[in-house]
Amino acid sequence: MQTISEIVGLNLCAGCGMCYSVCPQGCISLNIKKGRYIPFIDKAKCTKCGICKQVCPGVGFVKTLGRDPYFGDFREVFLGFASDPKIRFHASSGGIATVLSIFMLNKGVNGILLVKKNEEDPLENEVFIAKNERDVLEAMGSRYSPAPMCIKFRNIVNLKGKFVFIGKPCDIQALRKAQKYIRELREKIIFVIGLFCAHTPNKNATLKLLNAFNLKKYQIESIKYRGFGWPGYMTIITNQKTIRIPYQDAWGKYLSSCNFESFICHLCPDVSSETADISLGDAWYLKESNSGYSIIIARTANGEKIVREAIQNNCICVENCSESDLYKSQKALIEKKKYVAARLWTMRLLHIKYPFIEGYGIGRIWNNFSRIYRAKLFLKGILFLFKNVVFVVRSWLYVFMRNKKC
């Protein structure tokens, strides 16, 4: 099949929106289904050119093999935070994504692709191009709900200037694929900041949290998922009051539930945006700190150059950070990648279709396990597939029908 219909049917869509941006016929639209963005194809317009499938992260994650099986290639690791105390306090982690965005704009970049809350519907996200400091500050903080981050690339190809993209691993994988085919994206997206990512909760996770606090959608005026110190609070402003929920409760009890996790997130091999110029995440090993710190991974020469320039210009403050600190700070993501390795291996043994993975160290991770640990993870992989039996049946049917046609 030459379009993304197969990917959507197998529930492997990440909802990034890149297919919408690259479709030359404009026949793909995005709609909310079960709390997340899903592409729909107008079959009357579709010419089956196949470009939508070529750029889709649901087809596979591909890159050159990195030196570290869990975090890929990198040149330097920093522990840092924004020099501006207000940004550090109100942003997620140490405010590095915010302050680097402002720094890049001051260096002459024409825009930063960001996400902010939708003014008309605070439960929805809005992808936009930030062109000044005010725009960047408006988007400050995490948004733990779906956002089709790649939809603005449709606009970028027709705009003049240079741009920075900030996104999740799946968004960046889609961009790197699209850059192979679209010259304008290679030339105009000059820098990529990636975020560490366990998964993106769908919209229903936020609705469940609101329901737990007896809040109705019509009462909500604003939702801010992080900020006010570290690890911060989820702040909900209604037409009557303001509610602040500690991050550990908001994420731990509601937003992190696997019931609200897209199926592709369970199989994603990239937990730290390995194809970005720099990657950012929380320094979770500093449990006693009330002020945010960010782990900063400089992956490319350009990434390291920008970080060092930001340090020299007093935009960010950094401290020493070893590779062992990186591992200590991201124990949950390391465990996730182990489980991804187990799920993919189990699916391979059972001839269940899964995304093509290359260069993310999955084989190295699996081969380093003892036989007993492999058996334990294999059983967990079976349990995972049992919980997702609909996907398994769809996959087997797809393989059966493909073999029948052959």
pLDDT at position 401 is: 65
Least reliable range by pLDDT among 35-39, 153-157, 160-164, 257-261: 257-261
Q: For residue 119, give its domain range.
A: 76-201+259-330
Sign of the four-CA dihedral 176, 177, 180, 185: negative
Q: Which amino acid is at 141?
A: G
Residue 26: which pLDDT band, with cuts at 50, 70 and 90? very high
Domain count, the chain: 1
| In-domain check, residue 163 | yes
What pLDDT score does 226 carry? Answer: 95
Element (H, E) at 205: helix 203-212
Q: 188-221 burial, b for 16+ CB within 10 Å, e for fewer?
A: bbbbbbbbbbbbbbbbbbbbbbbeeeebeeeebe
**Which tokens hold the place of 329?**
């700070």
Residue 281 phi, psi dihedral angles, 5° rounding: -160, 170
Cα separation, 135 vs 101, whole angstroms: 10
Report yes or no: 170 and 57 within 8 Å, Cβ to Cβ: yes
Look up residue 198 and give its amino acid.
Answer: A
Sort 329 into a burial class: Cβ within 10 Å, 0-12 / 13-18 / 19+. buried
Instruction: Tell me whether residue 144 is in a domain.
Output: yes
Q: What is the pLDDT of residue 400?
A: 63
Whole-model pTM: value is 0.94
pLDDT of residue 292 exceeding 80: yes
Express each pLDDT in 1-19 by its tens digit: 578 988 988 889 999 999 9
Residue 63 clears pLDDT 90, i.e. is over it: no
State residue 288's pLDDT score.
66
Q: Are 82 and 95 in contact (CB under 8 A)?
A: yes
What does the pLDDT read at residue 105?
98
340 in any annotated domain:
no
Query: Would you say residue 402 has pLDDT above 70?
Result: no
Q: Is residue 15 a part of any domain in this protein?
A: no
Is 156 inside a domain boundary? Answer: yes
Residue 194 is predicted with a pLDDT of: 98
Residue 394 domain-assigned (yes or no): no
- Give the length of the chain: 406
Distance CA 141, CA 250 (A): 15
DSSP state of 261: B
Q: How confident is the model at residue 390 (pLDDT cuts 50, 70, 90)?
A: confident
Residue 187 tokens read as: 């030339």
Residue type, 338: K
pLDDT per position as a tens digit, 147-189: 999 999 999 999 999 999 999 999 999 999 999 999 999 999 9
Distance (Å, rounded) from C-alpha 76 to C-alpha 298?
Answer: 5
Rounded average pLDDT over 283-304? 91
Q: Which of 68, 146, 143, 140 is nearest to 100 (CA)?
A: 140
Residue 238 counted as domain residue:
no
Q: Is there a contact between 306 and 104 (Cβ–Cβ < 8 Å)?
A: yes
For residues 168 and 273, give the distance between their C-alpha atoms in angstroms, rounded to a whole number. Answer: 7
Predicted confidence band of residue 41 (pLDDT cuts 50, 70, 90): very high
Question: Which uninterrupted H or E stretch holds 246?
Answer: strand 242-246
pLDDT tens, 298-336? 999 999 999 999 999 999 999 989 999 999 999 999 999
Q: 314 lies in a domain?
A: yes
Instruction: Please give the mean pLDDT across all residues of the chain.
Output: 92
Residue 111 burial (C-beta neighbours within 10 Å; 0-12, 13-18, 19+): buried
**Res. 406: pLDDT tops 60:** no
Residues 109-138: pLDDT tens digits? 999 999 999 988 999 999 999 999 999 999
Q: What is the pLDDT of residue 28?
A: 97
Residue with tokens 């741009």: 163
User: Does pLDDT of 280 surpass 90?
Assistant: yes
Predicted confidence at residue 189, as pLDDT, reads 98
